[in-house]
Amino acid sequence: MNWKSQFESIGVYLPEKRLSTKEIVSNIDLPAIKKFELLTGIKERRVCSPGEDSYTLAFSAARDCLNHSKYQAKDLDLILCCSISKHIDESSYQYEPPLSIYIKDYIGAKAAINFDITNACAGMLTGVYIADSFIQRGAIRSCMVVSGEYITSLKDHAVANSRKIMSSELASLTVGDAGAAVILERVTNGGEGLVASNFTTISKYNHLCIGKQSRKSPGFFMKTKAKKIHQVSISSSKAIVRAALKENNLSFDQIDYVIPHQTSRSSILSGAKDYTVYFGTRPGKIIINLRNYGNTASTTHFLALYRYLNEKRFRQGDRIMLLSFASGLVIGVVIFPMKRMVKQYGNKN
């Protein structure tokens, strides 16, 4: 049997509290930092309030996903949690038991197996890759991939330690908190599911973005060689994207929407320009979803998909490419046709 998988539903949870870029950079004594909003395209981001953390973000996103789904929690075969952050409050980080077992219990997915993976900002798309493999092999019929990213504590360390405009912690000022979840299901009778789900790790670049526990204050810090990691991400990913397209008899201009990892507006536009030169053509639209959310790590692609679904931007049959760049260096490509989800979401904004 030639099984495939498709996205059945998406859920998102965003904290109510908003924090503007102007508020953040006002605490940094660097004249050039005042242009940070213009450079990144990020006006504000959502941040957790007391009582919110990685767990509550993931729980709420999972529940929202089920609210849009034909499935009940008891129908799910696998719960796969992909968060980088596993905070149970502002200062505590939990490795065991895994977050996936809490999500399983919270939503009532008693029959599901569960496990956690962590693959930096490629986490949820890596989860999709794994779920797709399980479904293709006939091991499961349905899977929820979920993540709750409570990462804005990174900005506190960056504000305190950014002493020059080329500081390695400036990328931490772009982050926002969010939860996201997606259900994948088995497609039978020759239905068209995921067209491509390809991932590559180039480990020699692992030093370009590193997160660690801070020894000076609660929480974590992240150091990034932003210019270098952007350069190697774009240069290394072109051949990978080309191979995924060629394998499925597609050209780049047959992709209606590309959703790259959401880092900064200038980086995305620069990468798009390089891609246009390399492929000699361009996709229908490149989605930049940074203005009100920032970089929400592993949840960025599904946050953008959710927004565009609710705003009725997609049409039945649109081809979507999710393009992942993550520290490691991880490059991932997921291509799929937009199908039944178009009818499940309404204009909420």
For residues 126 and 182, give the distance between their C-alpha atoms in angstroms, rounded to a whole number: 12
| Identical fold, 4-187 and 196-343 | yes
Query: Which residues are bridge partners to 10 per DSSP?
Result: 182
DSSP β-ladder status, 18-20 and 44-46: antiparallel
Separation between Cα atoms, residue 324 and residue 252, nearest integer Å: 16
Res 222: pLDDT: 85
What's the CATH number of domain 4-187, 3.20.19.10, 3.40.1030.10, 3.40.50.970, 3.40.47.10?
Answer: 3.40.47.10
Could you tell me the residue ranges of all domains in the chain? 4-187, 196-343
Angle made by CA atoms 127, 252, 294, in degrees to the nearest 5: 50
Chain segment 145-176, per-residue pLDDT in tens: 999 999 988 888 888 777 777 778 888 899 99
| Banded pLDDT at 335 (limits 50, 70, 90) | very high
Whether 142 has a pLDDT exceeding 50, the answer reads yes
Residue type for 19, please?
L
Q: Are 145 and 124 in contact (CB under 8 A)?
A: yes
**pLDDT computed for residue 22 by the predictor:** 94
Please list the residues that pair with 258 across neighbouring strands: 286, 321
The top-level CATH class assigned to 196-343 is alpha beta
By the 8 A CB rule, do 4 and 194 touch?
Answer: yes
Average pLDDT, the chain: 91
Alpha carbon distance 166, 346 (integer Å): 43
pLDDT value of position 347: 53
**Which residue type occupies 310?**
N
Query: What average pLDDT score do residues 139-149 get?
Result: 97
CA–centroid distance for 151 within its chain: 13
Cβ atoms of residues 335 and 250 within 8 Å: yes
Three-class SS state of 305: helix
Integer Cα distance of 20 and 46 in angstroms = 9
Residue from 146, 133, 5 nearest 80 by CA = 146
Grouping H, G, I as helix, E, B as strand and the rest as coil, residue 69 is coil
Report the chain's C-alpha Rg in angstroms.
Answer: 19
Question: Could you tell me the end-to-end alpha-carbon distance of the chain, in angstroms, rounded to an integer?
Answer: 42
User: Can you give the pLDDT at residue 349?
Assistant: 39
Backbone angles phi, psi at 285, to 5 degrees: -155, 140
Average pLDDT, stretch 228-242?
93
- pTM for the complete prediction? 0.93
Distances (CA, A) of 75 to 71, 183, 347: 6, 11, 28
pLDDT band, residue 241 (cuts 50/70/90):
very high
3-state percent helix, strand, coil for the chain, nearest multiple of 5: 40, 25, 35
Cα–Cα distance for residue pair 301/132, rounded to 1 Å: 17
| C-alpha–C-alpha distance, residues 46 and 14, integer Å | 7
- CA 334/CA 139 separation, integer angstroms: 21
Q: DSSP string of 13-38? A: E--S-EEEHHHHHTTS--GGGGGHHH
Decide if pLDDT at 190 tops 70. no
- For residue range 13-53, list pLDDT tens digits in order: 999 999 999 999 888 888 778 889 999 999 999 999 999 99
pLDDT at 168: 83
pLDDT score of 214 more than 50: yes
* Least confident span in 12-16, 194-198, 244-248, 302-306: 194-198
| C-alpha–C-alpha distance, residues 182 and 9, integer Å | 6
CB 318 within 8 A of CB 306: no
Burial (0-12, 13-18, 19+ Cβ within 10 Å), 162: buried
Q: Say whether pLDDT at 87 is over 80.
A: no
Residue with tokens 């599911």: 193
- Taking only the tens place, the pLDDT of each residue in 52-81 is 999 999 999 999 999 999 999 999 999 999
